[in-house]
Amino acid sequence: MSESERPLKISVIGCGYLGAVHAASMAELGHEVVGVENDVAKAEGLAQGRVPFFEPGFEELLRRSLASGRLSFTSDIKDAEGAAVHFLCVGTPQRRGEYAADLTYVEMATASLLDVLGPGELVVGKSTVPVGTAARLAELVAERVPDAVLAWNPEFLREGFAVQDTLHPDRLVYGIPDGPDGARAEQVLDTVYARIVADETPKVVTDYATAEMVKTAANSFLATKISFINAMAELCEATGADVKQLADAIGHDDRIGRKFLNAGLGFGGGCLPKDIRAFMARAGELGADQALTFLREVDNINMRRRIRMVELARQVCDGSLLGKRIAVLGAAFKPESDDIRDSPALNVAAQLQLQGATVLVTDPQAGENVRRHWAQLDCVDTPEEAARNADAVLLLTEWRQYKELDPAAFGKVVKTRRVLDGRNALDREAWEAAGWTYRALGRRNL
């Protein structure tokens, strides 16, 4: 084993989505890892191989890492003592009533880590933070433990592909200080990620501010791409053009690319919406708000799609939602996830219900979360239950199971064969051939 493949003792502070996946992945890479999680029940569950969220492939990885003896979980920060590397993986949600990010958890985690941090150890921030945070935390670290160093190392994992994205990322970004401390931080990070580095993964070594901004800039770009095509969908609706064909055609240009040009209900989840808002708030604090005013429009376009979807449902239901039965297929913010944070699907479902429709929601994985957090919505287990006697069916999260529904058989369950494809994901011809009236955002009505 070469020096760069040496196993390290690592702590991961905060074992939510990012932290739990990161901790198990670091153990998979051969390191000895302790995950520190304040929520005692969550820490105990993880230690027993129970995953508190749906993420394909993660349970197997967690169990394998636990069985190797290299991964443990605790609620006591003292167990992080002596680790060569400490990863900060806590959440940075949107502050209530504001656009800015709430840094409470980052600050609390750093404060508790400083109590156990030893000389020569490396603190690595992975949370998505407003630019400038790392420099501030580096000062705190330097004041308390002069020989310790802070690095900023954002992650780019997507829900649904979290394991793959952590073990085989498309790039590594290290934000480090100048001079010998920075060189040491880079060397230690290369040891942590030895296998990933050996795969010739592109690596960008930079300063703190750039590393922090890479993350928010990437998410802003993705959000902009989605809102761009959704703005085109609005125009298509006004002109009778077809947004799917438009996306296919412009996507053939390599410089544009077809990915993230799927028009529909728009983006949700725990990342893109809050990240673009926090980015705008930070730009305002820095006196550069004009640079990001376009993101306000990106956000507006995105939110308008939800309103338009409700409008479309009203139109197909002969102009009134009152007393109509509507089936909503999908509740998670995207397929292969049970995450319902800022889910466009639930937002639309709730609006339909408020406007007098009887709404039945279903989702292959998110049902439990819907019942827990959206008790006012009725949630059932199967699409057939949701669609029984329905006046309209809305596909709002493009799960494979829904794309594979047989429109002829499914048509026997509903009262009226009307389908609204909120994700432009269904085989339109097949549904129309089975006698369904098909409507979608940005599509020509045939």
Query: Which of 19, 266, 383, 411 is in the footprint of ligand UGA by CB under 6 A?
Result: 266
Distances (CA, A) of 112 to 26, 102, 137, 206, 262: 22, 18, 13, 27, 43
Residue 385 Cβ vs ligand UGA, minimum distance, rounded to whole Å: 24
Among 77, 83, 261, 440, binds ligand UGA (CB under 6 A): 261
Q: Applying CB under 6 A, which of residues 14, 91, 177, 269 lies at the interface with ligand UGA?
A: 269
Instruction: List, in order, residues 6 or more apart from 302 with CB less than 8 Å away.
Output: 223, 226, 227, 230, 266, 267, 273
Nearer to ligand UGA, 113 or 272 (CB): 272
Residue from 157, 211, 309, 420 touching ligand UGA (CB under 6 A): that is 157
Minimal distance, residue 338 CB to ligand UGA, in Å: 12
Write the Ramachandran bin of 27: left for phi over 0, alpha for psi from -120 to 50, otherwise beta: alpha
Q: Is 159 in the site for ligand UGA (CB under 6 A)?
A: yes
For residue 17, the number of C-alpha atoms closer than 13 Å in the C-beta half-sphere is: 23
From the candidates 15, 89, 236, 271, give the one annotated as an active-site residue.
271
The counts of H helices and E strands in the chain are 18, 14
Q: What is the DSSP string of 2-54?
A: -GGG---EEEEE--SHHHHHHHHHHHHTT-EEEEE-S-HHHHHHHHTT--SS-
Hey, is 316 helix, strand or coil?
Answer: helix
Name which of residues 71 to 90 contact ligand UGA (CB under 6 A).
none
Least Cβ distance, residue 412 to ligand UGA (angstroms): 30
Task: Output the DSSP codes for 229-245.
Answer: HHHHHHHHHHHT--HHH
CA–CA gap between residue 130 and residue 114 (Å, rounded):
21
For residues 72 and 312, give the distance between their C-alpha atoms in angstroms, rounded to a whole number.
51
DSSP 94: B
Residue 432, CB-side half-sphere exposure with 13 Å CA sphere: 9
Cβ closest to ligand UGA, residue 16 vs residue 182: 16
Q: Does 334 bind ligand UGA (CB under 6 A)?
A: yes
Residue 170 burial (CB count, 10 A): 8
DSSP character string of 242-257: -HHHHHHHHHTSTTT-
The smaller minimum CB distance to ligand UGA, of residues 205 and 223, is found at 223
Pick the piece of the chain touching ligand UGA (CB under 6 A) from 1-9, 32-40, 153-161, 231-239: 153-161
- Least Cβ distance, residue 91 to ligand UGA (angstroms): 10
For ligand UGA, the closer of residues 53 and 260 by Cβ is 260
425 binds ligand UGA (CB under 6 A): no
* Residue 4 C-beta: closest distance to ligand UGA, Å: 26
**Which span sits near ligand UGA by CB under 6 A: 131-139, 232-240, 266-274, 362-370?**
266-274
Tell me which of 91, 264, 330, 383 binds ligand UGA, using CB under 6 A. Answer: 264
Q: Phi and psi at residue 360, in whole multiples of 5°? A: -120, 120
Binding status of residue 158 toward ligand UGA by CB under 6 A: yes
Q: Give the Cα-Cα-Cα angle 109, 23, 282 (nearest 5 degrees).
A: 45
271 labelled catalytic: yes
Query: Considering the complex, what minimum distance in angstroms separates the CB of residue 191 from ligand UGA?
Result: 24
Interaction of residue 260 with ligand UGA, rule CB under 6 A? yes
- R_g of the chain, CA atoms, integer Å: 24
Residue nearer to ligand UGA on the CB measure, 34 or 236: 236
Q: How far is the CB of 309 from ligand UGA (least distance, A)?
A: 12
Binding ligand UGA (rule: CB under 6 A), the pick from 112, 156, 169, 184 is 156
Q: Tell which positions 172-231 bind ligand UGA, by CB under 6 A.
A: 219, 222, 226
End-to-end CA distance of the chain: 64
Nearer to ligand UGA, 417 or 423 (CB): 423
State in angstroms the smallest separation of the CB of 318 from ligand UGA. Answer: 29
Residues contacting 6, CB < 8 A, separation 6+: 191, 194
157: its two tokens? 């994992």
**Kind of pairing, strands 325-329 and 358-362?**
parallel
Provide, rounded to whole angstroms, the least separation between the CB of residue 273 and ligand UGA. Answer: 9
Residue 113 interacting with ligand UGA (CB under 6 A) = no
- CA–CA distance from 425 to each of 194, 209, 318, 342, 402 (Å)? 40, 39, 24, 21, 9
Residue 130 makes contact with ligand UGA by CB under 6 A: no
* For ligand UGA, the closer CB: 15 or 145: 15
Provide the mask over 402-421, with x wherever binding to ligand UGA is found by CB under 6 A and - wherever it is not. --------------------
Residue 160 or 383 having the CB closest to ligand UGA? 160
- Kindly list the catalytic residues: 271
Query: Which residues are at the interface with ligand UGA (CB under 6 A)?
Result: 128, 156-159, 219, 222, 226, 260-262, 264, 266-269, 271-272, 275, 333-334
